[in-house]
Structure 1
């Protein structure tokens, strides 16, 4: 996002100082979370559905190579083209090559997190192509020159007044911040883009291997217009985003919509099986499917494999207490919240993203609501373990835990250290609490007080109690 602080703590500080963000995020988070809970209650046997969805996703990952092969064969049978991209650069190059072959000048896009992952817009615009986001939320943040702050609600942090200001700049006149006025303006602006675009680019919620079909789930009609009006349609999917058959699709879509927005089914469920056929009234003349790896195959077979079960519903963001306070941009990567804290270091390494696994309270709420039962808080702990083993911790932390480990393995020394804790912290404490601690304590005391160690340790108290009881008997 434009003007975004480079460091994680800089982004967090900025987010905590943004009063509008701290009002908007909890409001939307509560609404989406309440919808999910209501949908779960109405379903009645939500845990059985979660178990089944998790089994489907796990089975797909265990047999990913064969299902990808089946998908590719069926897409080609349907008249489409399949391109496998090992890296983000490969995927971008496929899109640029197609655009060059078609002499394209304009591109219209529907919502796609995977296109955000490969920073597609930036590369297309660098080659002189006009790129327009057609999802309302994505269109808003494109005008604001920002990135999505939520998987399903990209403009969660914007007010109507801010949207009206952005739209007024495009319109060249002042627009009311009434929802009807803003939506009508967006329709008028985007309708022309749909009609004039040379290429339509979409993501892919799920691909069905048995039929070679691409499925898009949305609550706006922009996805259908993006995939049917331009002469060329390019769909970009993460290699793990497929199901074997339509029967499995029924289960995972039911879980996606209920977990994301609390809906039984979304307003639109669009299925595409190749380009337009003879007799079709609409559809593209040419269809391309780009299957992106970009580090996913490296996760297969590791302790983190289960994260690839993710269906991008955003439920984990809607219950996360950390996300509630700092929003999505503070995470810094394409994917935010608990799922982003697990995925981003896997895709891009610890060097720049070592703080993300620690941006969690480990309360387990994310794991509890995940529709495909990804153990997110366990994976965050796994990241922390790996960071320590790979040396991504400060020397102060290494030293502190080394001393702690030594003391706890020598009970007599531990007892002495505990007894001196009250005296040793006397110069730091004021009225029984430490308000500003040095070194590693500074992170804690910067936002809360640390109680001064008690004069008497628990072990001393327990020993005294036992002796007292012995005398009473």
Structure 2
């Protein structure tokens, strides 16, 4: 599967809705995630206080970003790491590829990293003479399938067990004939373990960067980050500059929020803090350690008044609770970052002119903000991007005409009430058993689902009738 493009959002959505089993597969995972998160939060009485604390930590770092970046660089170098700076995704990828070529690497292991996907690193490796090996089980699945990730926590959630069985039997050297999950995991382990131990370079992302120690923190359920980082002679971290926290004491509250929000677990299986290259006396570890700090639109978000989005700790809770995402999945967004958080991030990475349609893929019901562990006001940010897109005239002419016509009607109450009454009559003509399957000018809705039929009277007509009845009753008293 080729990655969809953000500018083709409407076409991507139509294709996603046409897939018969996609919605069921997505709901199977997201509904389970919803339930587990709710249980985890109910068992953690201090969750709301922790959210406030997490928000304050992130806001403090964002406000003093220059200070903490300088501190992190100083302390990371003291730990023996080589620190690189990249303004764009292309620059970051070039730095990583140059390091790989410098060490004449042939085999590269990668631990799951959305930043790596964001900067196009996987594509760059695939178009080189080096072998890319994804070590996360879900990333391994989508690499075999040729798919982009569809979720930032569960990248292969769009694939069924039957799909995985076929992929493993076609690609593993010693595939299992069983369809049990435990046997499929063992099949992947047999195929990947030797590659872990013989890779030339390991590349990981980072969940948090600790400014006071220069450490990088990874959070996984499989231990693949540790196996990606420890055996190879060279380790490369790619991380967005917003991953900074002042110290370990500040990372811990965010870790408590991250795992509960992402998977509904109190804590994940593997949380590791990496500190530069192997030192004298160390039993293992890389001989060379590189850290690539990436901007790629993040400082632009600060300048554009979108700094609240930089709080994001990439838990995926907003996607799991998004009614739009649950219907269309991640690929329809055409971006590395789908769902509500992606609809804010993508316009700053790809450009608003390219990704303005994603800002409208939201009902503004506020569920995403309600579950965000660091209180990001996603609906507010999406409204701001919609307003900016409108002011820059990125919206289609038809949309601008409809909104202008609505504004004209809404500013003239009598005309608005007349047109509403006519609209109700028109819709009633096309309704069957309470639903409308087809009607002129509504294909954007009815092509994929039925439209509920309106009440027999408009709101204002019902309001006037009720008010008249109340006044009559008062007079009779």
TM-score tier after normalising by the smaller chain length: over 0.9
Three-state SS of the structure 1 residue aligned to 2:169 is: helix
| TM-score normalised over the length of structure 1 | 0.93
After superposition, the Cα gap between the structure-2 partners of 1:302 and 1:424, relative to the gap in structure 1 and judged at 3 Å, is same
Say whether the 8 Å CA contact 1:164–1:182 is kept in structure 2: yes
**Deviations 1:112-133 (Å, cap 9, x if unpaired)?**
1100001101112222111100
How big is the shift at 1:154? Answer: 1.1
How big is the shift at 1:22? Answer: 2.1
Say whether the 8 Å CA contact 2:435–2:450 is kept in structure 1: no
Three-state SS of the structure 1 residue aligned to 2:21 is: helix
After superposition, the Cα gap between the structure-2 partners of 1:112 and 1:432, relative to the gap in structure 1 and judged at 3 Å, is closer
Per the alignment, residue 164 of structure 2 pairs with 163
Per the alignment, residue 202 of structure 1 pairs with 204
Q: Tell me whether 170-179 or 94-103 shows the greater mean CA deviation.
A: 170-179
Say whether the 8 Å CA contact 2:111–2:228 is kept in structure 1: yes
Aligned length: 472
Three-state SS of the structure 2 residue aligned to 1:201 is: strand
Q: Tell me the distance in 2 between the aligned counterparts of 1:339 and 1:442.
A: 28
**Deviations 1:391-424 (Å, cap 9, x if unpaired)?**
1223333223323222332334334444544566
Give ranges in structure 1 of 5+ residues lacking alignment: none
Give ranges in structure 2 of 5+ residues lacking alignment: none
Per the alignment, residue 49 of structure 1 pairs with 50
Per the alignment, residue 320 of structure 1 pairs with 322
Say whether the 8 Å CA contact 2:353–2:389 is kept in structure 1: no
Say whether the 8 Å CA contact 2:175–2:187 is kept in structure 1: no
Q: Tell me the distance in 1 between the aligned counterparts of 2:424 and 2:17.
A: 34
After superposition, the Cα gap between the structure-2 partners of 1:403 and 1:228, relative to the gap in structure 1 and judged at 3 Å, is same
Q: Tell me the distance in 2 between the aligned counterparts of 1:185 and 1:425.
A: 57
Per the alignment, residue 235 of structure 1 pairs with 237
Q: Tell me whether 275-284 or 1-10 shows the greater mean CA deviation.
A: 1-10
**Deviations 1:27-67 (Å, cap 9, x if unpaired)?**
21122222211211111121101000011011110011110
Say whether the 8 Å CA contact 2:318–2:367 is kept in structure 1: yes
Three-state SS of the structure 1 residue aligned to 2:48 is: helix
Per the alignment, residue 2 of structure 1 pairs with 2
**Superposition pairs of residues 62-461 of structure 1, within 5 angstroms:** 62-171=63-172, 175=176, 176-421=178-423, 434-439=436-441, 441-446=442-447, 447-449=449-451, 451=453, 454=456, 457-458=461-462, 460-461=464-465
Q: Tell me the distance in 2 between the aligned counterparts of 1:16 and 1:363.
A: 21
How big is the shift at 1:430? Answer: 6.3
Kindly report the root-mean-square deviation, in angstroms, between the aligned alpha carbons of the 2 structures. Answer: 2.3
Q: Tell me the distance in 2 between the aligned counterparts of 1:133 and 1:252.
A: 26
How big is the shift at 1:147? Answer: 1.1
Q: Tell me the distance in 2 between the aligned counterparts of 1:425 and 1:26.
A: 32
